Amino acid sequence: MSKKVLVGLSGGIDSAVAAYLLKKEGYSVIGATMTLRSENSPYPAPASPDSCYSSDKGKDFRKIERISSILGIRHYFVDCSDIFEGKILSSFREEYMNARTPNPCIWCNPIVKFGAFLSRAKELLKFDYFATGHYARIKFMDGRHALLKGLDGKKDQSYFLSRLSQTQLGQILFPLGELEKSEVRRIDESLSLHEENEEESQDFFGGDYTLLLDRKEMVGDIVLPDGKKVGSHKGYWNYTIGQRKGLGVAYSEPLYVISIDPVMNRITVGPRSLTMRKALISGNVVYSSFADFSEDEIYEVKVRSVSKGTKAKMKHLDNGRILIEFLEEVNAITPGQSAVCYLGDMVVLSSVIEDVL
């Protein structure tokens, strides 16, 4: 009897092609979609429908119905709105108000998409594996499930998947991990699953994140490192480390946000050179391809999803925290973001930035 695979269908090209490829390989495929917004949500609806949290998913649902029909697979919806709103959005709000900048997608994956969604689907359906259209790879090496970058460097999503546990990685399939996006599009068009050259856009909120914070304006000072006031703002939560645009400050040189004080409601700005740092301390560490790291090895560390990664050495600290020392300066390291460590294509660990040195 063929193995059963549940595929998380979003309505997009990647998940549709993932379902097709698995069916082509001989798996028995079923589809499921998680819904994230409750009927009486306490959070505002995003301005853009191209959002995970949009209140208007009718277009996506119609795409999913069409894909399921063409591929000849059953499809189900699984409500995960309580977990998404109660953990992901509430944590996002709390972190921002503490002047930290979280990455909700990194947390949604282990907690919701590969957590609650999978658990609740198992209450309804029987299946052996769970698959998605992510561009990443999983290999079993030396007794561990190693998470690797997708072969398409421009689409690699290992950074966002870096907090998945060994248990979660052990039941996941990533059919697109070995493919280029261009090949995935070619397959999709050959099956007429979507319109030719259809644009894709899926964002966490699809608009101004500060709408989720539900805060009234609170005027504060914008100051230089020496304390000299150079402007004012309407709430520290509207700013992130390294930000340049939207400061509303006229000065002799470009200014960037270098620190945020939530207690004093104060933004400190300075030249770009002051946003450059060479070390950080991170905690809440999840080990991936290896059970630990070597203090003698040189790794590559990404401090945000869009960064290329910078060579660094790491040291163990107390309480499971780690010191990451870069071999060259890194711009705008931000508390609350994730520092993800790689050895070649393999994810070594994922951690949350606590302090910048």
Instruction: Give Cα separations from 203 to 170, 241, 266 (angstroms).
Output: 27, 21, 29
Residue 189 clears pLDDT 90, i.e. is over it:
yes
Residue 255 clears pLDDT 70, i.e. is over it:
yes
Token reading at 250: 């006229």
Residue 55 clears pLDDT 80, i.e. is over it:
no
DSSP 213: G
Residue 45 clears pLDDT 80, i.e. is over it:
no
3-state secondary structure at position 356: strand
Residue 205 clears pLDDT 90, i.e. is over it:
no
- pLDDT given for residue 90 in this prediction: 92
Residue 47 clears pLDDT 70, i.e. is over it:
no
- pLDDT given for residue 108 in this prediction: 95
The DSSP result for 27-42, as a single string, is -EEEEEEEE---TT-S
Token reading at 298: 């040189």
- pLDDT given for residue 52 in this prediction: 79
DSSP 2: P
- pLDDT given for residue 201 in this prediction: 59
DSSP 196: T
Where residue 207 falls among pLDDT bands split at 50, 70, 90?
low
Token reading at 34: 């998680």
Where residue 60 falls among pLDDT bands split at 50, 70, 90?
confident
The DSSP result for 81-118, as a single string, is HHHIIIIIIHHHHHHHHTT----HHHHHIIIIIIIIHH
- pLDDT given for residue 200 in this prediction: 66
- pLDDT given for residue 306 in this prediction: 87
Residue 210 clears pLDDT 90, i.e. is over it:
no
- pLDDT given for residue 48 in this prediction: 67
Instruction: Judge contact between 168 and 145, C-beta under 8 A.
Output: no
- Tell me the pLDDT of the chain averaged across its residues: 93
- pLDDT given for residue 336 in this prediction: 96
Residue 208 clears pLDDT 80, i.e. is over it:
no
DSSP 237: G
Please give the Cα distance from 170 to 226 (Å, whole number): 52
- Mention every residue, 6+ apart, whose C-beta is less than 8 A from residue 94: none
The mean pLDDT value for 147-153 works out to 97
Residue 133 clears pLDDT 70, i.e. is over it:
yes
Residue 209 clears pLDDT 90, i.e. is over it:
no
- pLDDT given for residue 350 in this prediction: 98
Q: Give the closest residue to 41 by CA, choosing from 78, 77, 89, 76.
A: 89
Lowest-pLDDT range of 50-59, 127-136, 264-273: 50-59
**Beta-bridge partner residues of 325:** 279, 313
Please give the Cα distance from 28 to 19 (Å, whole number): 10
- pLDDT given for residue 206 in this prediction: 66
Sort 215 into a burial class: Cβ within 10 Å, 0-12 / 13-18 / 19+.
middle
Please give the Cα distance from 305 to 4 (Å, whole number): 32
DSSP 191: H
Which pTM does this prediction carry?
0.94
Name the residue type at position 153: G
The mean pLDDT value for 244-264 works out to 94
Where residue 202 falls among pLDDT bands split at 50, 70, 90?
low
